[in-house]
A and B are shown apart, each in its own frame.
Chain A
Amino acid sequence: MMRNPLKRFWPGLWMVGLLSSVASVQAVEITITCGPSGSDVEFCLKHAQAWATKTGHTIKNFSPPTSPTEKLALYRQLFAAKSGDIDVVQIDTVWPGLLKDHLMDLKPYSKGIEAEHFPAIIANNSVNGKLLGMPWYTDAGLLYYRKDLLQKYGLRVPQTWEELTQSAAKVQAGERAKGDSDFHGFVFQAKAYEGLTCNALEWVGGQGGGTVVNPDGEITIRNAQAAKAFNLAASWIGTISPTGVLNYEEEEARGVFQNANALFMRNWPYAWSLLQKNDSLVKGKVGVAKLPGNPSAAALGGWQLGVSKYSKHPDIAADLVMHMTSATVQKTRAIHGSYNPTMPALYKDKDVLEANEFMGALAEVFANSVARPTTATGLKYPQVSQSFWNAAHEVMSKRSTGDEAVVKLESRLKQIRRKHW
């Protein structure tokens, strides 16, 4: 009697056995550059491993250096060696033009789903008709402010950089008079690195000074508005911003703002969830708005996922990319990690808005963000960026004036361009 039930299941068991053996024969290891930090493991590796469980493959995590400049250097070396060590790579917004010879076209695998993402980002990731990266999450520079302090001093959210300077000076003077000697008006990122390029682009763009190199490849930085933007920023050092800001990256600025020692902060959206944690001294007192400027220029950031041309399992890697950039995964990352989705539809999603109240207003910011001049400068972008941030840093550390800096910058860019980009 015991045998009968088993006999019925036998063919089923055979099928399962056959299928699993087939799957295990084809199971491959896909290497993805999720990264080493705690949040990388939580918000990247976990999803990759969920995919692995579903498909029967395995995931290997690769930890690149945290600095984007070093990441890029590493990828370029690996690609130069035509190494198949990494299958799926995280690409910065500014890299598709640089790495175009080494990334696989994802159009055959996306099957049209790119229509659901922000067109600007898809355009950024497409070079010569090939889709080199699926949007993973997006970023744009934001102005964080202390709601309570603006209310106390009867000020509104500044619409221009000059207004920001005045408001910051007023509040800083007031707070310091009350005995808070560590209070500053405005903190941001002014260390000599890519983050400064973003900040400086926002100042220059916000004064109507253009984007350093325009999409046609012309060098447009040498103009009065750009010089004015640099001079204004230099005037903040030591007055409304601490001198140490010349060595600040994102975390240092956040540290000062989170300890209730600043009125304004320029930072990426990631800071929001950290500012609302229980150990934050400004919990519940923070507002977020688009950056001042006429026009308001927010640097476009964000990361994409691409597949290396030298991968040994391109199809499977592409499948992983599609999974990681799907709406479900993006929604989870938005709710728990404040990673901005790249799909307009998610900005109207109830759950997402409940977790991050400011994301609703952000859709407009992303649609109007300013891309760094990577399409025009292609392979030479790293040098262009470095010259730009060095010029900004020189003016801010009072080693040069805005006018001198833009002249010098133009000649340096000409040297970099040589005969053509």
Chain B
Amino acid sequence: MNSRVKTAWLFLAPMVLLMLVVAVWPLARSIWFSFTDININDISAAEFVGWENYFGDYGLFFNPSDEGGFWAGDWGISIRNTFSFAVVSVILETLTGLGVALLLNQEFKGRGLVRTAVLVPWAIPTIVSAKMWGWMLNDQFGVINNYLMALGLISQKIAWTAEPAYALWTVVLVDVWKTTPFMALLILAALQTVPKDCYEAARVDGVHPLRVFWKITLPLIRQPLLVAIVFRLLDSLRVFDLIYVLTANGSTTISMSGFVRREMVEYGNMGYGSAASTSLFLIILLTAIIFLKLAKVKLSEDAK
């Protein structure tokens, strides 16, 4: 056994080393930067400033000069935007994914074709999706505005990605379109592990299909469903590409990742930006822990 354990660590060494270099070191470094005033103009002139970026006079949290409160400041707005986006997006994705999975679980002619078609949004790169939808939602030449006007549903062309009331929900729409296939496939795989005799027994007993779904199907696919939801939730909290390419990245739609990148790259405040990114990391970690505890999801399992 001993030599096997040694082999194990030998095999693991390259990967662990790489993870340390590529993931742990940059994260540690970024956290270190968050305690300095490093600026992109001159990286070598960084000075240690302690908690100033977080809690100081002009820091991220408990900022006395924030007119209108924390939630009206740029960082607060980005947190609100990100959570609104993530929660609504994941709920919608799960519902539509569930719907599509239930559909694909039925047997009918052309099922393979539908399954293939469903994969298309997922296969398209995010940037391409953003550009495609941006074009369709264009306020002057977009096909969506055209159809809506032709159907008489709107009287004036709407600037979907610019108007403050619609912009964030437009991004949610595109995200749901893009990630429903992922959820649908996961749920479908889970549905297909449910033994058919459960359904047979229920049918023989004359149970209403909705009750079958609620009392039989759902509990049986609960575990994989929750894992999928947690994955998607944490993914959504990190959203960047879609908002960056689809909208003007102003205060109505900016996400936490967008805020960090703007601070670090456009304003050059690498220290302040690193503080924001560390906060983002902690927020995501906290969300993951809370969700997993609440949903009582089991993560690992030993080999047979």
Contact = CB atoms under 8 A, between A and B. Distances in A.
The answer to whether A and B belong to the same complex is yes
Interface of A: 69, 72-73, 76-77, 79-80, 101, 191-193, 243-244, 246-247, 252, 255, 379-380, 382-383, 390, 393, 397, 399, 407-408, 411-412, 414-415, 418
A390 B163 contact: no
Contacts, number: 69
A73 B66 CA distance: 26
Q: Interface residues of B toward A: which range?
A: 20 to 34
A202 B110 CA distance: 62
Contacts of A382: 266-268
A57 to B, nearest CB: 31
B3 to A, nearest CB: 47
Interface string B155-168: 01101011110000
B140 A244 contact: yes
B250 A246 contact: no
Interface in B110-164: 139-140, 156-157, 159, 161-164
A252 B140 contact: yes
Contact of B265 (A73, A192, A243, A397): A73
B250 A244 contact: no
Tell me what chain B mostly uses at the interface: helix, strand, loop, or mixed. loop
A246 B159 contact: yes
Interface string B53-87: 00001100001011110000000000000000000
Contact of A192 (B156, B248, B267, B268): B248
Contacts of A407: 67
A380 B267 CA distance: 7
Question: Top 9 closest A-B pairs, CB basis?
Answer: A247-B162, A192-B250, A411-B67, A247-B159, A73-B265, A80-B40, A244-B139, A73-B266, A415-B65
Given A77-B265, A80-B41, A397 B248 contact: no
B263 to A, nearest CB: 9
B57 A247 contact: no
B240 to A, nearest CB: 15
Given A193-B248, A390-B250, A415-B63, A69 B42 contact: no
A59 B121 CA distance: 42
Nearest to A390: B251
B249 to A, nearest CB: 8
Nearest to B156: A243
Contacts of A415: 58, 63, 65-66
Nearest to A252: B140
B122 to A, nearest CB: 28
Given A383-B267, A393-B250, A77 B40 contact: yes
A69 B266 contact: yes
B248 A191 contact: yes
A383 B40 CA distance: 14
Given A76-B268, A247-B159, A379 B57 contact: no
B39 interface: yes
B69 to A, nearest CB: 12
Nearest to B269: A383
A73 B244 CA distance: 14
Given A101-B42, A193-B248, 13 more contacts: A72-B266, A76-B40, A76-B268, A77-B40, A243-B159, A244-B140, A244-B157, A244-B162, A246-B163, A390-B250, A408-B67, A414-B65, A415-B58
B43 interface: yes
Contacts of A390: 250-251
A399 B165 CA distance: 10
B78 to A, nearest CB: 13
Contacts of B265: 73, 76-77
10 contacts: A69-B266, A76-B265, A76-B268, A101-B42, A192-B250, A379-B41, A380-B267, A408-B67, A415-B66, A418-B57
Contacts of A191: 162, 248
Contacts of A244: 139-140, 157, 159, 162
A247 B161 contact: yes
Nearest to B63: A415
B40 A397 contact: no
A81 to B, nearest CB: 9
A243 B157 CA distance: 9
A407 B57 CA distance: 19
A199 B43 CA distance: 34
A390 B162 CA distance: 13
Contacts of B164: 397, 399
A80 B40 CA distance: 6
Interface in B8-49: 39-43
A255 B63 CA distance: 44
A69 B265 CA distance: 10
A73 B140 CA distance: 30
Contacts of A397: 163-164
A247 B248 contact: yes
A415 B63 CA distance: 9
Contacts of B163: 243, 246-247, 397
Nearest to B57: A418
B132 to A, nearest CB: 18
A243 B164 CA distance: 12
A394 to B, nearest CB: 8
